[in-house]
Structure 1
Amino acid sequence: IIEFWYDIHYYWTDGYGFSLTYEQACNGLLDMFNFM
């Protein structure tokens, strides 16, 4: 159960569960593609 909690915590803070994670990546990729 503890391992499952760690997995969920990792997913939420570093994965797609946390909106800030993908929002930062999208802005970076958008800038890169606009520069090209």
Structure 2
Amino acid sequence: MDNSDENLRQFERTARNMQSLAQYSRSNQINKEWVRYVAV
């Protein structure tokens, strides 16, 4: 974890993306929850 601020921004970006795609498939919903769990 050489650049934690950048990593956090990337996780947040991914979480927002998964949030917007979650309504389209179950796998996207699962990925969104995983990203939220890992980011916290």
**TM-score normalised according to structure 2 size:** 0.47
Larger radius of gyration: 1
Runs of 4+ in structure 1 displaced over 4 angstroms?
none
* Cα RMSD (Å): 0.8
Question: Highest relative contact order (Cα 8 Å, sep 6+), 1 or 2?
Answer: 2
Q: What count of residue pairs does the alignment treat as equivalent? A: 21
Q: Which runs of 5+ in 2 are unaligned?
A: 22-40
**TM-score normalised according to structure 1 size:** 0.51
Q: Which runs of 5+ in 1 are unaligned?
A: 1-15
